[in-house]
Amino acid sequence: MSKGKARVPEAGQWPDRLAIPALAAGTVLTSAAFLLAFLYAAPVNGAALDAPELVGGVMVTHQQLISQKIFYFHMPVAIVSFAALAFAAYYGIRYLSTREARFDTCSRVAMEISLLFVVFTMVTGDLWTRFEWGVWWTWEPRLTTYLILMLIVIAYFVMRNAVDDPERRAVFASVISIIALVDVPICFMITRLIPSSVHPVITREGGMAPDMALTVVVALVGMMLVAFGLYRLRFREARLEERVQALKEQLDG
Amino acid sequence: MARLTRQMRQGGGPFAPSVSKPSAFQQYKTLLAKDLRQEFRTREMLTSMGIYALLVIIVYGAALALTANGLDIMRMGGGLLWVLIVFTSLLGLGRSFAHEKEQGCMEGIMLVPLDRSVIFLAKATANILFLLAVEIIAVPLFYFFFMSGEPVAPTFPAIVAPLLLGTVGMAGIGTMLSTITMNTRAKDVMLAVLFIPLIYPLLYACVTATTVAITGTEFWIDFFVMPLVLACGYDVVMLLVCWVLYDFVVSA
């Protein structure tokens, strides 16, 4: 095991000073990506039209998919949710190897962030499903695997509420966070394994055009920063709560 | 003299009775035999799971009463069969640690200086055996009630493969989760909440393979092997993860 005492994350150090700027920068970048998606990235061709038509001064031969703009938010949000899950599992492993309660707090906060982004992914994905495929839900492989990912994350919090002993709760939560990570590669790979899936594999279809790639990168960086800022703020709050609890116990005892 | 020092290094003095530590495999056999003996004496799990499976079939009878004739039961059969297996195994897995807890058997096992993963393997094997025993009863019953009116595809016996793979994975994941939930409030609900999402990929693959085998269309083998490979991979990954993490869970 580690030599001496493991370094534990603590609130109020240098990353916390970055939290507010990161949140602000993330908001700006995400808003910029929103504008880029509509003003800069070229519209994507849908089904072919019977005859070329003049739309907004440009001749088009295909339907222009406005709903495709959701992609610029849907994919970055999903990637951030995976990243947050990876952090939750990492802190879960750290907890199991050091038994330091702080890592459990980190794992829980990362899981909360991941739940937030999983819900965003489901909402943006559902908008797409409704407007492009005409149904609210379809049992398509990636939708299904992502839905069960959401259910596992929800089950994680249900399980935390059902255990009273804090040490035992931390062990179980760490184990579930590690198991939940197993579903991430499945969810990621499923469109490659089952090619009938309606989710595109972008690398298989020749990659993205530069204007699309730029928009996606801006949105991704912005959302990563938002997630980081939220994580640090929530972590500080959790730490303050723990300290208040410890003080209360000291005063009572 | 050399022999004496060796004995002393092993922890016993020259006159201490020599106690050889049983091998991990012997410990595994003893734990498994304990579970099986308990089951043979009480017949608690098998009767409750068997009756539950029969009741689910009866509920299917009511659910399909008005549609069964006009319905392609062969295409639905695989899915219905797996629903039956999932709910029956939930019942069995919830019970599998309950009496260990009630009778204080778990404390006894934890006092023995053995590798904790041996407990996992023994318990998972016992659960696999119980589930297989229930499936041996439930699958013919299911066939008897719902499928005997239709001609059987020659590929029907191939459903054994997905059944085996699904049972192994479900018992492995379920053993791990029932160890967790035995220490939580509202055990049974917690087990279902954790179990169903975690076995879902396996369930999906097994239902696909079973349905393909039951309908037995042309080129069925292409659609049969792929889900089985996926199910096998999921089994291996999940069993390894559970095996590694079990030590932490059971000691908590």
Please answer whether residues B90 and B230 qualify as being in contact, where contact means their C-beta atoms are separated by less than 8 angstroms: no
* Chain B residues 56-85 with CB within 8 Å of chain A: none
| CATH number, domain A18-248 | 1.20.120
Q: Which residues of B touch A172 (CB under 8 A)?
A: 180, 183-184, 249, 252
Q: Which two tokens stand for residue A92?
A: 């879960």
How far is the alpha carbon of B25 from chain A, nearest alpha carbon, in Å?
A: 26
Contacts of B50 (CB under 8 A, 6+ apart): B134, B137, B138
| Measured distance CA(B31)–CA(B24) in Å, rounded | 11
What are the pLDDT tens digits along chain B (252 aa)?
455 555 545 555 555 566 677 888 899 999 999 989 988 888 888 899 999 999 999 998 888 877 655 557 778 888 999 999 999 999 989 888 887 888 888 888 888 888 888 999 999 999 999 999 999 989 999 888 888 777 778 888 889 999 999 999 999 999 999 999 988 888 888 999 999 999 999 999 999 899 888 887 777 787 888 889 999 999 999 999 999 999 999 887
Distances (CA, A) of B85 to A180, B35, B143, B171, B225: 23, 21, 14, 11, 21
- Model ipTM value: 0.84
Q: Which of B182, B184, B195, B199 to mutate to test the interface with A (most CBs of A within 10 A)?
A: B184
A99 to chain B: nearest residue by CA?
A: B248
Please answer whether residues B128 and B169 qualify as being in contact, where contact means their C-beta atoms are separated by less than 8 angstroms: no
A159–B197 CB contact, under 8 Å = no
Average pLDDT of the segment spanning A90-105: 92
pLDDT, one tens digit per residue, over B144-180 is 888 877 777 888 888 999 999 999 999 999 999 999 9
